[in-house]
Every structure is written in C-alpha cells, then in structure tokens.
Structure 1
C-alpha cells in the first residue's frame, strides 16, 4: 500500500497535469435516477460503463469480450491492444476458477487503460520537447505555447524555467511496473478497495470521507485508501504520483537515464528497486514486484501499443 499522501481529489472526470481522461467516458444515461450498464463504441474505443444498481460482473464482461478480438498471446506477438475501456473491474473476478484465466482477464482490462494514460503523456512529452528545442535556439514561444508550458509545469509541480526537471516528470511509466503494482496492491483486482472504490494502487488519503477505511487500521491512525470514480482515474493518479512526489525522485532519475540507453523495457526490474518507498515492506515489496514481472512475463507488454 502506498504510504504517502497523494493530495488529489477525484472528480467525475479527472485531470492531472493537463492529462484529461475525458476520452474514457461517455455521458451517462439516467432512468428514474439510476444509471444503466451499457457498452458504447466511440472514437476513443469501446467504453464499458458500470451501473450503480447493477454491478459490472463476469457475465457482462464475457458478452463484451465475445465481440472484441482480444487475446494476450496476440499482444505478445506484437498485435495492437484493443481500445477497451472499463470503468471498474468485475466484482466477481475472484470467482474465476482457473488461476491463469483470472490473471489474463485482469491484464486484459487494465492494460488498455495504462497504455491510454501513457499515450497521452507521450503526446505531452513530444510537444514539450518541441518547445524546448525552439527555446534552445533562442527563439521566443508563441503566447499559447508559453501558457501551455506554464500550466504543464504547474500540474507536474515544478517550474517551467527548469526544463530538465520537467522532462524528468513528463514521462511514461513502464507498463510492466504499472501492471505489477496493480497486481500487488489489488490482489489481481479482487481486493475490497477495488470493489468499493476502484482503488488499484492503494493510495492513501488523510481527508476524512475521501476513501475507504482499512479494516486493519489502528485506532490512532486516520488515513483511508483513496477511492475513485473509475479504474482509469486510479491509474492516472498513480502515474501522476510517481511523476511528481519527492519520494520517487530516484525512480524518475533512473528512468531518465534509460532514455539515452537501451529500451526502458529491458530494465523495469532495475527500476523496481527505486520503489521501496511505495510500501512499508521496503525491499520485500521490490522483490514481490520483480517476481510478478518475471513470473507473469509482464515485460512482454512493454512495447504494446493501442490499436489506431
């Protein structure tokens, strides 16, 4: 469980550092005040909305997957990942009897969401690099670009006058690490925090009523596990936390060092060593992440891309 206060508040559509997740949602329909479960195809992909009265379960998921050509073996061979976006993990995912099938189902649902967040950050980074190149040759930025740069820096909790620090923060998180932490923190999506609050990464909050009270919490403690309106918001907050919190500066520096070396996918096991601060387990937590990455071949998804 993440030990450090995230400092975020979730809205219906979360925006972290200008990273809008609006593409993951369609406007909910209400009948007698209750939202219905439904699937809708949009320009962003297939969006699966959950219901407040009729929980998203495996039966609904099976119906959706039967209409989407999505096999992890194909993804491992380089096929694109379908843009399948779910708002929540099926509440009965732990009832899948076959362990491998349960794991594959979890990866299928979380992988497109991680890639979507990384895709948007990559677009930010590309624009940022272009603007920094303009400044490097002594040219002035257009007013719209200057304002965008300042807003981006503020969102990433740094100053636009420090381009190298900003570049260290505006960067993607290795897919294998994000998947491994989602697994470790959520128990392959079966935890109470996922069912009740879409909380994949165990981020804590000290704002009363902003999350879920852990059953094992000491009486003297006041923290809660931050809850989110969707799994996508949880992933966005997690990535933003790694990209901005002082506790993960070593992670960002190590990631930046890989930019000039081999592909990042070759050293996600090394990067995991910089995440001891994420859990009170420390080195044991790092070893757990490494074992998950190796045992489940999560590095196979490092270069995966979403379908056009």
Structure 2
C-alpha cells in the first residue's frame, strides 16, 4: 500500500496505466488496417468483415480463355438498317437495297412476338444475300456470254479465259465445250421463289436448323456428323440437314443445287425460255411449278410456296437490285 501511494506520488503508475490503455486502443486499428491492405481489391472489406459476411473468392488465374462468338441481335440490326436507310416499304417500290449482309439469323428472333415484325426482320436479312448471290452469278454469266460470242466468231481465247471456262464448267458439272448447255445453268434464281422457299423451309428463320446451322433451305446431307440431325427423322434414315458457316453459304449452295442437279432441269429450261420472251417475264410464282421434286410433299409444297409469294407480295421484290456503291464494313 505504501508502494502504491509512493507510485502515485511519483506518477510512475499513472504512466504505466496510460501506456496500457493506448496500446489497447491502437492495436485493433492496426490489425484492421493490415486486413484492409490485404483485401483492398474487394472494396468495403472492413464493412463486410464487421457484418460477418464472407468476402468473395478471387477467380483463379489459371482458367482457360474461352472466346465468345459474335452474335447478331435485333437491336444491333435495327441500328444498322436505320443508318443504311434500309426500308422494305421503299424497296418494294423501287429503292435500291443497301449492301448490308448478315452472316447469321439474329439470336433473339424467337423473342419477337409481333408476327409482322418477325417477317420484316427475316426478309431484311435474307433479301440482300439473295441479291448478292444472283449478282455474282450474273457476273459470271456476262463473261461466259462474251466468251461464247468470241468463240463463235472464230477468235482464239486467251489462256486465262480458257482456264476460267474450264473451272466454271467443272463447278457447274458441264462439258467446257458445250457452252450453250453451260449457259443454261449459269443464271440467277428468281427472288420471290428463293424468299418463299427460305420462309417455308426455315419457318421465317425460327427453325433449329436456321438458328444453329444457318440452313435456310433444308438441304440434306448423308453421313454421320455432317449436319444437324432432325428430331423427327424416321427410324432407319441416316440423312442430316446440312449446316453452314454463314447464311450466304446456305443461299449459294441452294442456288448451285437448282442450277446443276438433274432433278431441276425443267426449272432451268423454263427459266431460259422465259428470259428470252419480253412478253412473258421471268417470275418466281410460275417457276415454282417446276419444283415438283424439291419436296416429298409434291404439289402441296408448290401450293405453299405460291401462297407465300402472294400473301407477302414477294413479287414486288422480284426486280430488286443492290445499290451500286460498295460500302465498307457492310457485313454483320
């Protein structure tokens, strides 16, 4: 007791108590500060720790990188169409079609509840691609006609032209010296007919084959793993629906099929006959009548195509043309 009293008198004990209180106050602050520094990247860590909420676990740094494919949606398409002044109403009455080419069916096409809007989206996607394919084919046809004329007049063709003819004939499965027969095959597909078949075969772009495989025309391929297996394929069947990297490839394959396959010789003959008759213009509605072997449904299939052409006024798009200027960055 005397010692304590002496300590108070000498202020030694008070100094000792003060130091102990200071350490008790500062130590938790130092601990929290160190904790915050270790976990600063998570933000508000002190608050989370105070509430007893576990902090998020850091993502492991060794996870593999997965590249996500670019997907086209309705919103981005509508913005592009607006910028390009793409208006189907005006196109139906003669306005040139902007060169805006889309590689895939919009991923959210099934989300469009308005049937008319879904139709407009599908036509706007497919029409420029059909026209572009026809443009390429007609360019080949023009060169072919020029070389046929030169050969008939007795001119000797350049080696480059002979080589081009050979490659073209091979592609169209024709004898390079049977140029008139080759000319019968190198020609455009009527726009209204192509649109109607794309609609009928893909359900306005909503079918699984169109959305997953860019397949617009239901073309079959035999061999496991070469396409998409139909859910309703009959037992014992081995065919698959051919898939494509882009919609453009699907249209090119469809066009080539009509132009070379023996089953569509009637189509090619009737197309050539109408092309040479100014009073009997080429039109898809009449030429659908030659597609009797395209579908197992036969005449019912042809009736369906003709109903689609009439109901959707695809005849108004028969003579549509792409704008002449080639715009940069015109593929989505």
Same fold flag (TM > 0.5) = yes
SS in 1 for 2:101: strand
Shift of 1:265: 5.5
SS in 2 for 1:224: strand
Is the helix fraction higher in 1 or 2?
Answer: 2
* Partners of 1:98 and 1:63 in 2: CA distance: 19
Residue deviations 1:281-304, cap 9 Å, x none?
000000111111111010111111
Alignment correspondent of 1:114: 130
Greater shift, 281-290 or 262-271, is seen at 262-271
Alignment correspondent of 1:169: 185
Unaligned runs of 5+ in 2: 1-64, 325-332
Shift of 1:176: 0.4
Q: Is the 8 A contact 1:265 1:303 kept in 2?
A: no
Unaligned runs of 5+ in 1: 1-31, 37-50
Q: Is the 8 A contact 1:255 1:264 kept in 2?
A: no
Aligned CA RMSD, in angstroms, stands at: 1.6
Answering whether residue 213 of structure 2 is matched by residue 197 of structure 1, we say yes
The alignment covers a number of residue pairs equal to 261
* Partners of 1:212 and 1:264 in 2: CA distance: 41
Alignment correspondent of 1:302: 318
Alignment correspondent of 2:329: none
SS in 1 for 2:180: helix
Instruction: Give the alignment's TM-score, normalised by structure 1.
Output: 0.81
Shift of 1:163: 1.2
Residue deviations 1:243-265, cap 9 Å, x none?
00010000000001012113775
Is the strand fraction higher in 1 or 2?
Answer: 1
Alignment correspondent of 2:227: 211
Q: Which has the larger radius of gyration?
A: 2
- Superposed counterparts of 1:1-308, under 5 Å: 32=65, 34=67, 51=70, 55-262=71-278, 266-308=282-324
Instruction: Give the alignment's TM-score, normalised by structure 2.
Output: 0.76
* Partners of 2:278 and 2:240 in 1: CA distance: 39
Higher relative contact order (CA 8 A, sep 6+): 1
